[in-house]
Structure 1
């Protein structure tokens, strides 16, 4: 049996021929490029040059520290934050300021700023047809202002308080004069605004100060009248006299009470000493008495004399008795003096007690007066606060008025900005830049011409060539050995279990691209001692073992591919999801399963020409799915053979069993196809065939263990359930 390949109808782009067209047409490309470059040079040379200059303004407080008024609050500080600087940008670009500059520099007399004077023939035609507004309908001042805005750029330097005023003009002197004039006008406008604000403040403060003076006078008069009417005499520390008296009487009462308590305690102590006969020398009041001190001195003298006389005289001597009599008389005098001191202390305590009672009575009267004065002081303090507030406001207004008047008289109100970089007359125009323009024109025209040449060559078809063949050349299939084959007419055809009412549909006719003379594999005569597995046994082994992948090797040629097809159908009939991948060179495994093999398959998947949904097809005789060889170039597919394990793993996640028919292969050839849960089978038509034995030995030596031999049985394709169905 033989097979043939189908030629692809696609075409490829011949890159060599495509880019050779650039070399072939280089003269035309160069000529057009030079012409475009020359035209760009001419236009740039004839263009009117434009000059640009800029002035930089710094927003800051220019007030001197010696003349700066004391700020009254946060509102008096200049606005130097981001929003404030951005607002100043809008002020600089305002229409009023630009009109002042235009009038000062007489820009309206220049043709550059008069659109109506510079309008050419094309512009006038556009005005006539209504494509452009007539500049004559706009006032001359507005036309100048519009042109100024087109040439002016005012922006703030990021993250700074610097404002840039940029202006472009055909006249370099004017390009420098306009931004400088705008900056000067801006500073003058700021100063004028401050002068107006200062004058307005002065005009407002003057009547307010006069009114405040009258209110302060009235408030202070009310304070004085209320103080006199309420008899609120002021003592020391600016406090009411009644309050001050209350404080002093409280202090005096405390002192008298302390003195009385001290006198009573001293009297009681002296009384106890006299009554008990204790020595009076320890009593402070007794010791401090001058008389008692003299008496004690006399006692000391008498004791000294008695001691001196006792050395020469006896104790009964009249002299000694006289001295002792005097000594006893001194003790009596001391006791009498102590009693006198006691009576003085008692008198002092009684006097203090009487003074205390008197002070308590006076203190109660002063308390009542102080309470009355306190109520009056509340009203007085309210009047004083009102007078003080009016006085402070008057002083504040007077201070501001004097500052405003002095600044207005001297016209000293500096602006919160300064020019730190004035525009200078530029020497080089910023437009046109002849060298960059000519260079860009040369490169751009060269690229455009090259692209046009490539597209012209591509669309003409000269750069196209037929695509490489999508299938392999016809290969002669290995014929079944004559010793084991039988004639077709002697083949056993199984009869259906139930005769259908109508004759079954004949098998679909195989299209022309596929070999039409494909014989049905014949049943092989098997000896009674044959150790090969039948298709049913192989299917049962795959189902019972839970294998996820089955590799079939057919060393005897395409006829052995029937084993993989029959096993796949047998397992699919058991209810499992099965996919068969045909890796034979002739598509022998997928031929009996599809009406035509000229459909996308495994080669298209390897070359990334198709997706899984396009290469998976349904078996027309069972529920099994099949991936045929495909129509892509086998040589290109072989270069992507490393993707086969990924494809098989992806199929394993979607199907219960993946059957791979490899055709004649060895251990090294199927190594990349073997994964976890894989069983390897060898399809054997005859026992003792040298090719089968050699393949089995090679697989065993390659580490695949015991190799199962499967015998392909003769079969007839059953009536298809759903013809031409696709798994996609």
Structure 2
């Protein structure tokens, strides 16, 4: 294609030319950088040097273990958190401390403080509009304003360390001021503790006197109530009635046990006597000494009878005498058992009477104990009140003595320690002439180089045509472009705008002179449908213009190629610009669809005119139903529409019908393939004329395509050329 067919914007940045311009203008860049660096050096050299020093404080509890108030442990000591330390930072910068330090060093008579902080750098910032001018006020306000501008107080992160920094023209003053501020802060802390201690002692004195009176009254009420209620206390500080009730309950239990035991023993002896059993075997009877002696005598008589029975007969007088004595002993034992029974019965009766007496006394003591307990509750309440008042009085007395002794001895350590005092700095912190000068030189070089690059870029000297495209034509020879009707960045009919990079590939065909020398059969059918689609898939072209010199019936080639490319996986769209809609008819089976004429006439949007092919993945924009004359009046929009479609699709195929080379000029771009369709070999001369015309118009390599074995449906009547 010729250079006059290159689309607008097909240029690229020539980096060689761009940096060559920088090399050409290098002396000017260096001169400007040196001038700027000299100005910066002069300014920094004339700026008054500033010195900075810092003092460090540590917030901690300084109470020792020997002087700590009684009852206060290490864990009870207050430790400031982050918010507490931040509050101390604000306290250090308070007006009271700064005013006292300013008066101590007579800062109002120093030049750097008299103007309220009007340093040279501040003046430059005010002139540049980067800083507001100082507000007029009293001399004290100006001094404090300048003081605060030079003072920096901050907390070291994740610690209870506070740093006080101060900058001044005088290095000695730069070290003295932060030390003085730290001393004033420590003195303020000590004074605050002293005032707190004094306020505590002043408050405790009347409170202690009042508590003494209340303790005396409470103890008097306890004694009076005890006397009125006749609450006598026994052992273990217990009411006497309650103690007696407990003792009587124990005695009643013992009496009941004794009665039960005596009754059981009497019943056992009575049962033995009534049944005629040997009573001497009963433990209760055997406990009697007399029965024990009678039992021993009985054993002796039985022994004698047994001894004599070995030599004498049973009727012997001596044996009979011994048996008579033995019978008397049995009578005596039973008689003694009756006496034992009578004793048990008497003991049981006595225990019964004692139990009745104890029960009556117990009931009386229960009533008395209930009354005593009620009175004891009231007494305990009075005693608790008196004890609470007494404990509070003792606590207040202890605190008062401690506070009074601390005030008398003036031992009130502040909870802050200065662990690093400021020393006189030997070198200023601002300005650093050499670093600033070097930085200014490097920055000015960089800025001037960037300015030069931009000048070269915007002047067009560093621009060159895109690779594979002829030199750009003059602006007067280029085709005017209309404003876009659609945003090419918006997807069309659901298709994205990402288009892969492609390179143009063109296969040369024989020159026209060589073609004319060949036989007609050899000149036609340069490539078939499959070869044409493969060329579009692998060649990198984003547009393919099909021209059918034989008429709209030859549009079959574009339809077949579009379907074949669509089936390969690429996003492809066929734009039908034929007069009869012959390209869209086999894809939509009707011409009553909105199409390119509706889009040009502003009667439809892209989403309304893009349709799906019924037999492939290809999309189709038909001719449309709008008035062709009205649509052609907006033909200048066609290049914009083509650019939008090329951004949304991988390949855009345009069927132009039997048009001429001049009519397709506005559709050409740097990556466009021009293909000529041929069906009837008898029309070879017509095709050759079209090829020659295309070459004369700047199309370097038009391609001849023949759709062998395909016939188009008849074109509907009444359609004008698009």
TM-score, normalization: structure 1?
0.68
How far has the Cα of 1:214 moved from its partner? 0.9
Tell whether the 8 Å contact from 1:602 to 1:615 is kept in structure 2 after alignment: no
Task: Identify the match of residue 633 of structure 1 among 629, 650, 670.
Answer: 670
Aligned to 2:582: 566
- Matches for 1:264-275 after TM superposition, within 5 Å: 264-275=263-274
For residue 64 of structure 1, give the secondary structure of its aligned residue in structure 2. Answer: coil
Residues 672-699 of structure 1 show CA distances to partners (whole Å, capped at 9, x for unaligned) of xxxxxxxxxxx5323999xx9xxxxxxx
Number of residue pairs matched by the alignment: 587
Q: Distance in 2 between matches of 1:452 and 1:66?
A: 74
Aligned to 1:263: 262
- Matches for 1:20-31 after TM superposition, within 5 Å: 20-31=20-31
Aligned to 1:521: 550
For residue 584 of structure 2, give the secondary structure of its aligned residue in structure 1. Answer: helix
Q: Distance in 1 between matches of 2:2 and 2:403?
A: 112
For residue 432 of structure 1, give the secondary structure of its aligned residue in structure 2. Answer: coil
**595-604 or 378-387, which moves further after superposition?**
595-604
Aligned to 1:52: 52
How far has the Cα of 1:444 moved from its partner? 0.7
Aligned to 1:145: 144
Tell whether the 8 Å contact from 2:548 to 2:555 is kept in structure 1 after alignment: no
2:90 maps to 1:90: yes
Tell whether the 8 Å contact from 2:117 to 2:149 is kept in structure 1 after alignment: no
How far has the Cα of 1:372 moved from its partner? 2.5
Residues 32-90 of structure 1 show CA distances to partners (whole Å, capped at 9, x for unaligned) of 22232233333333332222222232222222234333568999752522222222221
Tell whether the 8 Å contact from 1:602 to 1:630 is kept in structure 2 after alignment: no
Aligned to 2:691: none
Aligned to 1:18: 18
Aligned to 2:176: 177
Q: Distance in 2 between matches of 1:105 and 1:176?
A: 12
How far has the Cα of 1:252 moved from its partner? 1.6
Residues 66-123 of structure 1 show CA distances to partners (whole Å, capped at 9, x for unaligned) of 4333568999752522222222221122111222333334434433332269789997
Tell whether the 8 Å contact from 2:555 to 2:657 is kept in structure 1 after alignment: no
For residue 403 of structure 1, give the secondary structure of its aligned residue in structure 2. Answer: helix
Q: Distance in 1 between matches of 2:75 and 2:197?
A: 16
- Matches for 1:285-684 after TM superposition, within 5 Å: 285-464=284-463, 468-469=469-470, 521=550, 549=566, 566-572=582-588, 574=590, 577=611, 599-600=638-639, 604=643, 630-634=667-671, 663=676, 684=679
For residue 233 of structure 1, give the secondary structure of its aligned residue in structure 2. Answer: coil
Q: Distance in 2 between matches of 1:26 and 1:4?
A: 35
How far has the Cα of 1:573 moved from its partner? 5.4
How far has the Cα of 1:443 moved from its partner? 0.9
RMSD (CA atoms): 4.9
TM-score, normalization: structure 2?
0.69
Cα distance, 1:542–1:35 mapped onto 2, change above 3 Å = closer
Aligned to 1:41: 41
2:253 maps to 1:224: no
Q: Distance in 2 between matches of 1:627 and 1:77?
A: 93
Gaps of 5+ in 1: 485-517, 525-533, 552-560, 583-592, 639-660, 665-682, 693-706, 724-728
How far has the Cα of 1:19 moved from its partner? 1.7
Residues 464-515 of structure 1 show CA distances to partners (whole Å, capped at 9, x for unaligned) of 556744899999888999989xxxxxxxxxxxxxxxxxxxxxxxxxxxxxxx
For residue 684 of structure 1, give the secondary structure of its aligned residue in structure 2. Answer: coil
Tell whether the 8 Å contact from 2:578 to 2:656 is kept in structure 1 after alignment: no
How far has the Cα of 1:277 moved from its partner? 1.9
Residues 594-647 of structure 1 show CA distances to partners (whole Å, capped at 9, x for unaligned) of 8979953899579x7x556998999899xxxx999944323xx79xxxxxxxxx
Aligned to 2:199: 200
Q: Distance in 2 between matches of 1:116 and 1:688?
A: 99
How far has the Cα of 1:261 moved from its partner? 1.2
How far has the Cα of 1:663 moved from its partner? 5.0
How far has the Cα of 1:578 moved from its partner? 6.2
Tell whether the 8 Å contact from 1:597 to 1:628 is kept in structure 2 after alignment: no
Cα distance, 1:9–1:215 mapped onto 2, change above 3 Å = closer
Cα distance, 1:483–1:49 mapped onto 2, change above 3 Å = closer
How far has the Cα of 1:442 moved from its partner? 1.1
Q: Distance in 1 between matches of 2:143 and 2:313?
A: 149
Aligned to 2:599: none
For residue 328 of structure 1, give the secondary structure of its aligned residue in structure 2. Answer: helix
Cα distance, 1:458–1:399 mapped onto 2, change above 3 Å = same
Gaps of 5+ in 2: 474-503, 522-546, 569-576, 594-610, 621-630, 688-706
How far has the Cα of 1:347 moved from its partner? 0.6
Tell whether the 8 Å contact from 2:52 to 2:428 is kept in structure 1 after alignment: yes
Tell whether the 8 Å contact from 1:53 to 1:179 is kept in structure 2 after alignment: yes
Cα distance, 1:569–1:594 mapped onto 2, change above 3 Å = farther
Residues 365-390 of structure 1 show CA distances to partners (whole Å, capped at 9, x for unaligned) of 22222232233223322322222221
Q: Distance in 2 between matches of 1:448 and 1:376?
A: 100
Aligned to 2:607: none
Aligned to 1:245: 244
Q: Distance in 2 between matches of 1:388 and 1:564?
A: 118
Cα distance, 1:194–1:305 mapped onto 2, change above 3 Å = farther
For residue 5 of structure 2, give the secondary structure of its aligned residue in structure 1. Answer: coil
For residue 234 of structure 1, give the secondary structure of its aligned residue in structure 2. Answer: coil
Tell whether the 8 Å contact from 1:54 to 1:164 is kept in structure 2 after alignment: yes
How far has the Cα of 1:562 moved from its partner? 8.4
Cα distance, 1:117–1:391 mapped onto 2, change above 3 Å = closer
Q: Distance in 1 between matches of 2:147 and 2:97?
A: 12
Cα distance, 1:520–1:251 mapped onto 2, change above 3 Å = same
Cα distance, 1:284–1:411 mapped onto 2, change above 3 Å = farther
Aligned to 1:78: 78
Q: Distance in 2 between matches of 1:134 and 1:5?
A: 68
Residues 210-246 of structure 1 show CA distances to partners (whole Å, capped at 9, x for unaligned) of 1111111111111111111121212222222222222
Q: Distance in 1 between matches of 2:715 and 2:465?
A: 42
Cα distance, 1:117–1:382 mapped onto 2, change above 3 Å = closer
How far has the Cα of 1:317 moved from its partner? 4.5
Cα distance, 1:422–1:4 mapped onto 2, change above 3 Å = closer
Q: Distance in 1 between matches of 2:47 and 2:3?
A: 72
For residue 341 of structure 1, give the secondary structure of its aligned residue in structure 2. Answer: helix
Aligned to 1:642: none
Q: Distance in 1 between matches of 2:118 and 2:7?
A: 67
Aligned to 1:508: none
Q: Distance in 2 between matches of 1:451 and 1:297?
A: 144
Q: Distance in 2 between matches of 1:28 and 1:538?
A: 60
Residues 536-564 of structure 1 show CA distances to partners (whole Å, capped at 9, x for unaligned) of 9999x999xx999589xxxxxxxxx9899
Tell whether the 8 Å contact from 1:601 to 1:629 is kept in structure 2 after alignment: no
Q: Distance in 2 between matches of 1:364 and 1:102?
A: 90
Q: Distance in 1 between matches of 2:281 and 2:104?
A: 111
Cα distance, 1:50–1:324 mapped onto 2, change above 3 Å = farther
Tell whether the 8 Å contact from 2:280 to 2:333 is kept in structure 1 after alignment: no
